[in-house]
A and B are shown apart, each in its own frame.
Chain A
Amino acid sequence: MTDLSFLFTQFLGGLTTAMFLFLIASGLSLVFGVMRVLNFAHGSFYMLGAYLAWQAVQWLSPLLESFWLAALFAALAVAVLGGLVERLLLRHMYGKEELYQLLLTYALVLILGDAAKAIWGTQQLSVSRPPILDGAIEMFGSVLPVYNLFIMLAGGAIAVVGWLILSRSSAGRMVRAAALDREMLGALGANVGALYTGMFMASSFLAGLSGALVTPIQSIVPGMDVEVIVEAFIVVVIGGLGSFWGTFWGSLIYGQVLSFGILIMPSFSLFSVFALMAVILIVRPWGLFGKPMR
């Protein structure tokens, strides 16, 4: 039975990756779905979340050890930054071609990446696990760190909460309406500008939060921004750009393909996820769960 438990370990590893990516990609997908902006800077927000969490832990450490407070601070700070970016920069690009929107968000990738390097240097930083989530548990013969379990639950919780907000609250209804027809929503008297800012802030919040939550299990390094954004793109493309549940399933698929791809072709697991993205785009450009546009 060792074989089975080994496979189960791989499965759990894939699940952890998946839930992490879902945390990151859900914000990316939301912004694309509603605002039709492909935000390269989403990865930079994630990176800033990680650095800010580290910074907050340093600031708090003389007083108290609170990883959670630090994570919350990081996520909120990134959300504020996202709001500023939307208000001051992105807003002016809505009417223009995709090329200019892509390049604007890429300019932010360049600027924020170097800003992080200037502030925090290039050495690896790390944050220790919150004591409550230290240790590991055993499940069917495979060992699972408690923190990974927490990430899985957090991803699931975000999925449920996000879905509830989108489908049941009035704000969610507005978001869905904006995704369908922005001008009509504006004509009906809704404040679409504020809605977009709010959306972008929520998306940045999720990016910052996932960046903060990654710190206990991954070291913080420059370049984590451009790496993660490509992974998030893959997830979003698999599930369907702009589809919330699509992103959820997309993350699950990505996690398992990566996790088992390593077993089958050790050096080509990277290749397999990109190939998966390409195949999906070729066969169903709108993703497994998205709807064709226009």
Chain B
Amino acid sequence: MKTNDLASRIPWTLVVFLVALVVPWLGSRYNTFLATQIAISGLFAVSLNLLLGTTGLVSFGHVAYFGIGAYVCGILMKTYAMPFSIALPAAALGAAFASLVFGFFCVRLTRIYFAMLSLAFSQIIWAIAYKWNDVTGGDQGLPDVPYPDLDWMNSIPLLGDLRIAGQFYVVTLVVVGLSLAAMRRIINSPFGRMLTTIRENAERASAIGVDVRRYELAAFVVAGGFAGIAGALFGIFSRGVFSDYVFWPKSAEVMIMTILGGIDHFWGPVVGAATLVLLNQETTSYTEYWSFVLGTILLVLLFAFPGGIVGGLSAGFAWLRRKRRGAAGPETGSAEVATVEVKRA
């Protein structure tokens, strides 16, 4: 297929990453704050989409693994004064382990029961976080999680000029970038293709000898692990870990991010996260009724743009291209194929 030659040759991902990297040097603390939040939420939403979009599993308890990551990292760094370089992998492993245990039971169920059981498990984590005062701080939470020790950055030119929040943003962006790259690789690997096969037709997949449950469980664990990384970063970013992070409406929130961006595209959830974070900031400066706005957006989304922003945009572009081609000459057959390809890309 001939796409725009110049546009396809530019490594867009790298460009976006570099542009995002510049943010803290622009000097606005507020923008750095927003960018950090977007990066973390983006990672969280992409990890959910590995289940939702790629594998077709509706997990209503994804926030549990985000929360476990946040608590593991926060407790290790605050209570035990461990370095970030140990706490972060520990958070990912902790979350992945929890998703292995919980996922083992979840993947045995189908559809609505899967959603319910994942919700039940996340509420168990919430109940523990809320009540286990000695370890999680209970309803008071775990305030004052320290920043990682980033003094080594001070001797590096440019990086040394930044405040700690800016330096942490750079760390966050690198961790998120690496995680997204890893997830992209996973989704495009034969393993990832198999997940999509399972989404499309689980019965057929199992008929040709695929162990559907094992694949689903693997996807659940990978998604949980990356959610744990996002949670660990978020706990440090917001300077504390609280039981609210694990309460079930948060699961719905990340799900809205994912759907808003579009579950059929790898970058969709990132776009959704960015949109939602920015909208949240804008809206809350005008009105306290953010939930109302969010609910209305969700309704419009469900009825008008079920493919999300990226889905809507790519459909729009495909339509434009078709129109241009239609003017140049009759080639409608291949244009329709192109639309389908764009949608699934």
A: residues with CB less than 8 A from B are 36, 38, 89, 92-93, 96-100, 102-104, 106-111, 113-115, 117-118, 226, 230, 233-234, 237, 241, 267-268, 270-271, 274-275, 277-278, 281-282, 285
Query: Is A274 a contact of B127 with CB atoms below 8 Å?
Result: yes
Query: Is B124 a contact of A274 with CB atoms below 8 Å?
Result: yes
Partner of A89, one of B132, B248, B252, B299: B299
Query: Is A109 a contact of B116 with CB atoms below 8 Å?
Result: no
Query: Is B303 a contact of A274 with CB atoms below 8 Å?
Result: no
- Interface of B, helix, strand, loop or mixed by DSSP: helix
Known: A89-B299, A277-B123. 19 other contacts (CB 8 A): A38-B116, A98-B112, A104-B302, A106-B252, A106-B298, A107-B295, A109-B249, A111-B291, A111-B296, A111-B299, A114-B289, A114-B291, A115-B292, A230-B123, A268-B131, A270-B127, A278-B121, A281-B120, A282-B108
Which residue from chain A places its CB closest to the CB of B132 in the assembled complex? A267
Query: Is B295 a contact of A282 with CB atoms below 8 Å?
Result: no
B116 neighbours in A (Cβ, 8 Å): 38, 233, 237, 281
Interface centre among A117, A241, A274, by most B CB within 10 Å? A274
Which residue from chain B places its CB closest to the CB of A234 in the assembled complex? B120
Once A233-B119, A281-B120, A282-B105 are accepted as A-B contacts, the answer to whether A117 and B289 lie under 8 Å apart by CB is: yes
Q: Say if the beta carbon of B29 comes within 8 Å of chain A.
A: no
Q: In the docked arrangement, what's the CA distance between A268 and B119, Å?
A: 18
Partner of B291, one of A93, A96, A110, A275: A110
Chain B residues 273-310 with CB under 8 Å of chain A are 289-292, 294-296, 298-299, 302-303, 306
B299 neighbours in A (Cβ, 8 Å): 89, 104, 107, 111
B298 neighbours in A (Cβ, 8 Å): 103-104, 106-107, 110
How far does the Cβ of B310 sit from chain A's closest Cβ, in whole Å?
17
B124 neighbours in A (Cβ, 8 Å): 271, 274-275, 278
Query: Is B295 a contact of A226 with CB atoms below 8 Å?
Result: no
Query: Is B248 a contact of A100 with CB atoms below 8 Å?
Result: no
B117 neighbours in A (Cβ, 8 Å): 278, 281-282, 285
Once A100-B302, A102-B60 are accepted as A-B contacts, the answer to whether A237 and B120 lie under 8 Å apart by CB is: yes
Q: Say if the beta carbon of B259 comes within 8 Å of chain A.
A: yes
Q: Say if the beta carbon of B115 comes within 8 Å of chain A.
A: yes
Query: Is A38 a contact of B112 with CB atoms below 8 Å?
Result: yes
Can you name 11 A-B pairs with beta carbons within 8 Å?
A: A99-B259, A100-B306, A103-B252, A106-B256, A107-B299, A108-B295, A109-B295, A233-B119, A270-B130, A274-B124, A281-B120
Q: Say if the beta carbon of B128 comes within 8 Å of chain A.
A: yes
B127 neighbours in A (Cβ, 8 Å): 268, 270-271, 274
Query: Is B109 a contact of A226 with CB atoms below 8 Å?
Result: no
A97 neighbours in B (Cβ, 8 Å): 58
Partner of A230, one of B113, B248, B252: B248
Chain B residues bordering chain A, tally (CB within 8 A): 42
Query: Is A98 a contact of B120 with CB atoms below 8 Å?
Result: no
Lowest 4 CB-CB distances: which A-B pairs, in order?
A: A110-B295, A114-B292, A111-B295, A107-B298
How far does the Cβ of B107 sit from chain A's closest Cβ, in whole Å?
11
Q: In the docked arrangement, what's the CA distance between A100 and B113, Å?
A: 15
Q: Say if the beta carbon of B232 comes within 8 Å of chain A.
A: no
Query: Is A271 a contact of B302 with CB atoms below 8 Å?
Result: no
Once A278-B121, A282-B117 are accepted as A-B contacts, the answer to whether A103 and B255 lie under 8 Å apart by CB is: yes
Partner of A103, one of B128, B259, B291: B259
Q: Say if the beta carbon of B38 comes within 8 Å of chain A.
A: no
Query: Is B248 a contact of A226 with CB atoms below 8 Å?
Result: yes
Which residue from chain B places its CB closest to the CB of A113 in the assembled complex? B291
How far does the Cβ of A104 sit from chain B's closest Cβ, in whole Å?
6
Partner of B131, one of A92, A110, A271, A275: A271
How far does the Cβ of B344 sit from chain A's closest Cβ, in whole Å?
17
Query: Is A92 a contact of B303 with CB atoms below 8 Å?
Result: yes
Q: Say if the beta carbon of B52 comes within 8 Å of chain A.
A: yes
The 8 A CB mask of B250-277 against A (1 = contact, 0 = none) is: 0010011001000000000000000000
Query: Is A102 a contact of B131 with CB atoms below 8 Å?
Result: no
How far does the Cβ of B76 sit from chain A's closest Cβ, in whole Å?
23
Query: Is A267 a contact of B123 with CB atoms below 8 Å?
Result: no
How far does the Cβ of B342 sit from chain A's closest Cβ, in whole Å?
21
Q: Say if the beta carbon of B111 comes within 8 Å of chain A.
A: yes
How far does the Cβ of A36 sit from chain B's closest Cβ, in whole Å?
8
Q: In the docked arrangement, what's the CA distance between A226 and B149, Å?
A: 39
Q: In the docked arrangement, what's the CA distance between A290 and B9, Å?
A: 57
Which residue from chain A places its CB closest to the CB of B263 in the assembled complex? A99
B259 neighbours in A (Cβ, 8 Å): 99, 103
A107 neighbours in B (Cβ, 8 Å): 295-296, 298-299, 302
Q: In the docked arrangement, what's the CA distance between A133 and B60, Å?
A: 41
Query: Is A281 a contact of B306 with CB atoms below 8 Å?
Result: no
A109 neighbours in B (Cβ, 8 Å): 249, 295
How far does the Cβ of B124 sit from chain A's closest Cβ, in whole Å?
4
Which residue from chain B places its CB closest to the CB of A96 in the assembled complex? B306
B109 neighbours in A (Cβ, 8 Å): 281, 285
Query: Is A267 a contact of B131 with CB atoms below 8 Å?
Result: yes
Q: In the docked arrangement, what's the CA distance between A113 and B290, Å?
A: 11
Query: Is A111 a contact of B292 with CB atoms below 8 Å?
Result: yes
Q: In the docked arrangement, what's the CA distance between A103 and B249, Å?
A: 11
Interface centre among A93, A110, A118, by most B CB within 10 Å? A110
How far does the Cβ of B201 sit from chain A's closest Cβ, in whole Å?
15
Query: Is B115 a contact of A93 with CB atoms below 8 Å?
Result: no
How far does the Cβ of B44 sit from chain A's closest Cβ, in whole Å?
17
Which residue from chain A places its CB closest to the CB of B306 in the assembled complex? A100
Once A98-B115, A271-B127, A281-B120 are accepted as A-B contacts, the answer to whether A110 and B292 lie under 8 Å apart by CB is: yes
